[in-house]
Structure 1
Amino acid sequence: MSGTAFVLSSGGNRGALEIGALLALLEHGLTPDILVGCSVGAINAAGLAVNPSLEGVQNIAQLWMRAQQEEVFRGNYLSMARRLLAGRNSLFPNRYLKRFVENHLPLGFRCFADLKEVALYIVAADLNTGRLHVFGEDPSESLVDAIMASCAAIPYFPPWTYRGHQYIDGGALSALPLGVALEKGATEIYAIDVNYVEEAKEPIRGWLNILSRVASMVAYQQFLNDLKWAQYLGLARVHHIPIKYHRRLPLWDLSYSAEMIEVGRKAAEDFLSQAGAN
């Protein structure tokens, strides 16, 4: 399938930045033929796929602004410590995230075959094969299971088992899966990057922060390799939209979503204005 692709990166609670960028893209008359999402980008991409319009993005924005920590991340530092000491697979259980995903997918959208207007692909890392799995290539695959697999961010959520395989966050291998959009024949790609790796001005401290930084570096290098490949072969016009956010928040803090949406919208509008001038 040729056409325009929107690629949405991983990024945890920074996913609200993606919604702002999507609002700007749709407001400028840009619509996707292909959607590719990773981790929180999978949630946003699936939400847009069921209603690929400005109204659809506005609906997702409302969900982000209403979302509460307790809906997804049920627990606190004490419960996280208990789970860690008990040898559990994650700091948070994933049943609340699953309920959140199920409640926000409209009736009639249970597998990829139910999506008629755009092609949706969701990436996850397959622990059994050690490779990136692209959900959506098999239209019978479950949307909820694909999202849960892609959102299984270690160590926050446990691996997700589906059809006999264990999956973790696709960001472990490809945080901004540009390569998938290229493989599916996209000729114009808008890559919304809320996992942008900036130079660290201060020492990284704390094992969670160090682990997160390492994972981001590895996945971001994969994106840079894909970008060079696309530019060298002339496969597609790639518009990389990195979005920076000044607050350093724990993954479970969803209280700044409205602010993030506005930051994401402005970043994308600035990008589109500069692109139009060039």
Structure 2
Amino acid sequence: LRYRHRMGWIYRGDRLQSFLRKHLPVHTFDELKTPLYMNSVNINTGGVIYWGLPSFRDVSLEEAVYSSCAYPTAFKPKEINGKYYMDGGIVDNLPIKVTRYTKPDIIIAVNLRYRGSLDGKNIENKGIISIIDQANSIIGQMMTDYNLQLHDDLPIILIHPKVEEYDFLDFDHTEELIAEGERATNEILDKHPIFSKSNGSKVFNFFFKSKPIFDVDPDKCTGCGNCIIHCPVDLYALNLGQAKYLTNQRERCTSCLDCIKHCPYKAISFVEEKETFSLKTV
């Protein structure tokens, strides 16, 4: 099909920018007491920049925030200094790589694009917006998985709010979404060992993950070969028509869990032991 006219944006973004101007307590990076960084992508070049870095502080906070969340087709790109920027999540939806520059002790990351499995939700019957949203979520999750593998040496605590049932542009369930974000965050703060306390002293528990041990259920495995295709370090082979995990190559495992995610018959499971030591501070 050939379109003879340009399609407009779902939202022009004026109300969002007005909201930011009204509610942000300060309006420049220099006024912030805590460093803030956010990514945007130049829609013409594909280059990613991080507002808040030394060369990218000469913008207002509302401009930076808007440009970093101007989702394609939904919001109009933001012009800043003659260049047009959109949501940095287009190319990096979990921008933990900026911590290579900031070097924090702990990284708490929230994956808002995680949709999990929606088997039985009949996405195919919910219309084009839901299908596009789910397609973007799948792409986003693949990028996130790769990003986490790339930076698996960083001290990351990952939070996954359960938002599978909500569309990305769902503004009718804002209270429920906020409540779920609070629940997921409080669960980490309450249960994660690194935040535990004892006798008024703070105890930091550091975990050294051992490599996971995978198991292939012979009653479920059909020998389709998907685990061989998706394992980045070749830890699977076919033996007598079924997948076999090469236990003697276990140390090469990257813990990406792609073999489990892409197994259509749910034939692969794993266990992961954790070694830990504690450091107590008064």
Structure-2-length-normalised TM-score: 0.59
1:152–1:168 Cα contact (<8 Å) kept: yes
- 1:98 match: 17
Once residues 187 and 4 of structure 2 are traced to their aligned partners in structure 1, the CA distance between those partners, rounded to angstroms, is 47
1:263 Cα shift? 2.3
Change (3 A) 1:212 1:259: closer
2:114–2:163 Cα contact (<8 Å) kept: no
Q: What code does the residue aligned with 2:87 have?
A: D
What is the total number of aligned residue pairs between the two structures? 188
CA RMSD of aligned residues (A): 2.6
- 1:271 match: 188
Instruction: Give the 5 Å matches for 1:90-129.
Output: 90-106=9-25, 109-115=26-32, 117-129=33-45
1:99 Cα shift? 0.7
1:85 Cα shift? 9.9
1:150–1:169 Cα contact (<8 Å) kept: yes
Candidates 52, 57, 78, aligned match of 1:139: 57
**Counterpart of 2:157 in 1: which secondary structure?**
strand
Candidates 80, 97, 114, aligned match of 1:179: 97
1:102 Cα shift? 0.7
2:114–2:164 Cα contact (<8 Å) kept: no
**Counterpart of 1:248 in 2: which secondary structure?**
coil
**Counterpart of 1:167 in 2: which secondary structure?**
strand
2:133–2:168 Cα contact (<8 Å) kept: no
Once residues 20 and 72 of structure 2 are traced to their aligned partners in structure 1, the CA distance between those partners, rounded to angstroms, is 18
Structure richer in strand, relative to its length: 2
Bigger relative contact order, structure 1 or 2 (CA pairs below 8 A, ≥6 apart): 1
Instruction: Give percent identity, aligned residues only.
Output: 24
Candidates 147, 152, 163, aligned match of 2:81: 163
Gaps of 5+ in 1: 1-83
1:131 Cα shift? 1.9
Gaps of 5+ in 2: 197-204, 206-282
Once residues 152 and 158 of structure 1 are traced to their aligned partners in structure 2, the CA distance between those partners, rounded to angstroms, is 7
Once residues 50 and 182 of structure 2 are traced to their aligned partners in structure 1, the CA distance between those partners, rounded to angstroms, is 28
1:246 Cα shift? 5.7
Once residues 121 and 250 of structure 1 are traced to their aligned partners in structure 2, the CA distance between those partners, rounded to angstroms, is 23
1:249 Cα shift? 4.9
